[in-house]
Chains A and B, each alone.
Chain A
C-alpha cells in the first residue's frame, strides 16, 4: 500500500520535519478541544503551538526553565519601567532587550556550571521564546496580574500536553503509518468542535449555582 510518509522520507525529508508537520494539525486540534470542551483558554492557538514547538526543539527541561526565567525577567523589567511612563512599543522593546541579555547571561552561567549542552540550544527556538514574552507581558498590562498568571499557566499546560502528545512514540508511529487518516480525523473533529454549542466543562463549575437552582 502506498504510504505518504514513507514516500516523503525516501525523498530525503528529515523525519523530524515530517513529524512536526503532521503533528501540528493534531496539536492544534488538541488546543481547540481544550478551549471548546474543557474551557482552558490560554493565549490561543498561536502562542501555545509556538511554545510546544520550542519545547520539542529544545527539550522540555531546558525549554521550561528558559521560558519561566524569561517571563520572570520580562515581568521585573516591566515593573521597573512603570515609573518612566513610556509608550507601549518602546517599553516592550526595552523589555525584550533585557530578556535577550538575561539569556546571554544564562549562557554564561551554563559554561560556569559546566552545562555546555545548553549552549547548543537552537537559536530559532530561543528567539521564538523571547518574542513570546511580549504576549505574556501585554496580558499583565491589559488584564492585570492574576488573570495574566492564570492565562500563562494555562498556556504552558497546553504546550506541555501537546509536547507529550507529539513526543509519544505510539502517537509518532500512528502518524507515520496513517498520515492522511490522522489529518482527516483532526479536520473532522474540528468541524464537530466548531459546531459544538454545549457548556464547557469549566462552565458547569462556573454556573453550578444556576444549574442547581433552576427547575
Chain B
C-alpha cells in the first residue's frame, strides 16, 4: 500500500465535517420535506412518483386510543413521521394463525395489539422524533420482495440508496438485510452495503460491518455481478425526487416491489457516508466533479452521472485480470510492414475464429502482400486455401504482432475479424458494443 497515496486520497472521501457543506443552501421548506415523511409522500404523490400506500394516520393519543388495530392487514409497517435513521419502525410480515390481534415480526417475535398501541403512544409522545417533539404515527403497506434479490436477503426488504446531487445521480448502493441486523437493511445495525455501478446497475464490491466481503455471510453467493432490475428507472425516479423536493444533496431509498416495481421508501437530506465503503470510492471527489455543472433536466443529469461514474466494473475486472475488456466490435489500427503507414477501421471480435482475417482491400493499401505460407480452411462454403501474411495492429492501445489470413471481405460489414489466437491478452464482453464511428471506407 502506498502511504502517500493513502493520505492524498483523504480529499476524495467525504467525512462528517465536510458533509455539512456538501448540500447547497436549500430552502427551509425543502428540508422540512425530508424530516416529515407524510409531507414527503404527499409531495411525491402529487408529482406522480411511486410511493407506498398509507393505511392509517394516528395524530394524537386520542386517536391512538380509539383506533381498532384489528382492522390492520396481515402485513404492514408502522413508522414515526419524524423518525430518524430507521428508529422506531416496526415491520410485521404476517398475522399469527387464528389470532386476530397478533402479528409476526422479521425475527419471529410476536406483536400484539397492546404492543402496537403502546408503540404508537410512544411515537405520538415524540420519543422517536428528532427533537423529542410530539409526532404522528402512521401505518403503511409493506413492500413485497422482488424475486431477483430474494436469495440475498434474510427476511427483510432490500433497498437501493441513490445519492443525487445537482440532478446527477453520483453513487448508488444496494442494502441487504441480514440475520445479524434482524432483517433490517440499515448498515449501522448489520445490514450489507453493496456498491452498484452507475453505468450498468451491476453490483461491484460489498461491505459488511466495516469490512470488505465478497460473498453473502454464511453462504457461497457472490455479491458482485448482480444486475439490479429496473435500474434506469430507479435512477430516473431519484433524479425526479430531487427536482420535485428541491433538496440539493439527497439520498433516495427505493424498493423493488414484486407487483408495483420501483417505489420510493424514504428520502434523506443527510444520507450516511457508508455508501463510500460499499463502493470503495469517495463521494467528495464525485461531488467536486458535478458541482457547478449546468443541468436542466433529470434525463440529462442521469446521462452525465452514468458517463462520469459508470464503467467501474470493467475497470476493476481489467485491474484484477490484467487484461483489457473488449466488446464485440472495436476500433483497430493496422500497420504496414514498414510501420510507416497505418489504417484505422472497426474490427469484429470473433472468438469463434482461430486466426485473424484481413480484407484484400486493406492489404493492397498497406502493402501486406508478402505471403508467408498458405493454409487450408474448412468453412461453410467447403474447403479453401487462404494465404497467410505477417501483420501487426493496435487493439485497445495494445500492440499485437501476428500472422493473419488474407481474404476477400469486400461484401462484409467488417474489413477485419480478430480471432482467438490474438485475443489471449483480452477478455471479451458481448454486452459491450462500441458505437460505429468510422464508416467502412470503400
Contacts and interface: CB of A to CB of B under 8 A. Distances in A.
Contact of B121 (A39, A87, A142, A199): A87
A210 B128 contact: no
B280 A199 contact: no
B189 interface: yes
Interface stretch (B6-14, B137-145, B344-352, B429-437): B6-14
B281 A210 contact: yes
Interface string A83-105: 00101110000000000000000
Interface in A136-159: 141-144
Interface of B is mostly: helix
B400 interface: no
Contacts of A61: none
B1 A212 contact: yes
B98 interface: no
A210 B276 contact: yes
B24 to A, nearest CB: 15
Given A85-B118, A197-B21, A210 B13 contact: yes
A201 to B, nearest CB: 10
A87 B61 CA distance: 11
Contacts of A88: 122, 125, 127
A120 interface: no
B210 to A, nearest CB: 7
Given A198-B15, A198-B17, A209-B212, A85 B9 contact: no
Nearest to A198: B17
A214 B114 contact: no
A41 to B, nearest CB: 9
B167 interface: no
A85 B125 contact: no
Contacts of B5: 214-215
B301 interface: no
Interface residues of B, number: 33
Given A89-B125, A200-B17, A214 B118 contact: no
Nearest to B274: A206
A209 to B, nearest CB: 6
B282 to A, nearest CB: 6
Contact of B280 (A85, A87, A196, A213): A213
A204 interface: yes
Contacts of B276: 207, 210
B78 to A, nearest CB: 15
B17 A197 contact: yes
Contact of A214 (B12, B16, B128, B277): B12
Contacts of B273: 207
B87 interface: yes
A144 B189 contact: yes
Nearest to B211: A209
A112 interface: no
Contacts of B12: 214
A87 B128 contact: no
B18 interface: yes
Contacts of A87: 118, 121-122, 125
B15 A203 contact: yes
A36 interface: yes
A207 B277 contact: yes
Contacts of A144: 189
A1 interface: no
A199 B276 CA distance: 14
A213 B9 CA distance: 9
B115 interface: yes
Interface of B: 1, 5-7, 9-10, 12-13, 15-18, 21, 87, 114-115, 118, 121-122, 125, 127-128, 189, 207, 210, 212, 273, 276-277, 280-282, 285
Going nearest first, the 5 A-B pairs with the smallest beta carbon separation are A197-B18, A199-B15, A213-B280, A211-B9, A88-B127
Given A141-B127, A215-B5, 10 more contacts: A87-B125, A199-B10, A199-B13, A200-B17, A203-B16, A206-B277, A207-B277, A209-B280, A210-B13, A211-B9
Interface of A: 36, 39, 85, 87-89, 141-144, 196-200, 203-204, 206-207, 209-215
